[in-house]
Structure 1
């Protein structure tokens, strides 16, 4: 569980610093409050981490790093950006992969094909669920619902070649005409 900070204490501190002149603290949206709860209750796999590149005052934009400990992508490091809407959890977070990766469910622009980020999103889901879903994409890539159709076809038809392509890409090589940066 990650304990980042306490909203009430921060608001009290800001009010105290204002010498009782009224709270100039920005009122948090319901989405921010829910996201704060989700983040403080995170229980991610040990190979995942979260960071806030804009500082902890910007909860709505953060990054999650996944380092798969099993499967084709073992040893790689993949960074995802999360943009969360103020109407969260009624709308799924927008997630993109910053790391260029050879993967059937992640295209070369970083778009992610994960059903809970699209049609299967429900407000009862949370950030922890999304992180586990992303983690699962690296342990069990799915050739049946691809964004990268070429990678999906290779995974389906020739898993050994798929494994070789993943390794080549992760070590900073070419797969076909596409160059990949080293992520291992």
Structure 2
């Protein structure tokens, strides 16, 4: 029994020394949940995850969506995710880094996805958000727009909307008063 106390005492001492030397970082509940969410990801094959700051920084990552069908086929669209420490009680902050002609994404990259705002619940996870973003490319929604011009065109003239999307993906063009540098992936051209 005395040995057990000595072992526990030694473990505690080792842990304290590691903390003092900055070797151990205690993870928040949000980081633990995010770690689980990422380890259980089941994304569409058109979606890829990357960690620009390395895998040690799970709270900031990027998702690239390259749709294989629909208006946005052939484009590559990068979304940054900033996950708050209080996740999952608050949703991640998601921004589109790729300039895109889309009714639900404005020219600054703000994204209109209800589960990132009023419909967020702690039972939702990163996989749900990724599928929501992916759905924006397969079924853009003109009824809840951030880019009103794109939404009106999608509703009133889907063929011209599709042409504008193609031009914006091809790049180096002005569409609706905004310059688009392009975002084609080369996979479909």
The two structures share one fold, judged by TM-score above 0.5 = yes
2:136 corresponds to which residue? 137
Equivalence map 1:54-93=2 (5 Å): 54-93=53-92
Equivalence map 1:8-19=2 (5 Å): none
Cα deviation per residue 1:31-82 (whole Å; 9 max; x = unaligned)? 0000000000000000100000011111000000000111100010000000
- Give the deviation of 1:130 after TM superposition: 0.2
Alpha-carbon distance in 2 for matches of 1:53, 1:132: 21
Give every structure 1 segment of 4 or more consecutive aligned residues whose post-TM-superposition deviation is greater than 3 Å: none
Alpha-carbon distance in 2 for matches of 1:20, 1:93: 35
Equivalence map 1:24-63=2 (5 Å): 24=19, 25-63=24-62
1:176 corresponds to which residue? 176
- Give the deviation of 1:106 after TM superposition: 0.1
Tell me, which stretches of 5 or more residues in structure 1 are unaligned?
A: 1-15
Alpha-carbon distance in 2 for matches of 1:31, 1:95: 16
Q: Does 1:20 align with 2:1?
A: no
Q: Give the structure-2-normalised TM-score.
A: 0.86
Alpha-carbon distance in 1 for matches of 2:47, 2:90: 23
1:110 corresponds to which residue? 109
Tell me, which stretches of 5 or more residues in structure 2 are unaligned?
A: 1-10, 185-189
Cα distance change on mapping 1:169 and 1:124 into 2, 3 Å: same
Q: Secondary structure at the match of 2:130?
A: helix
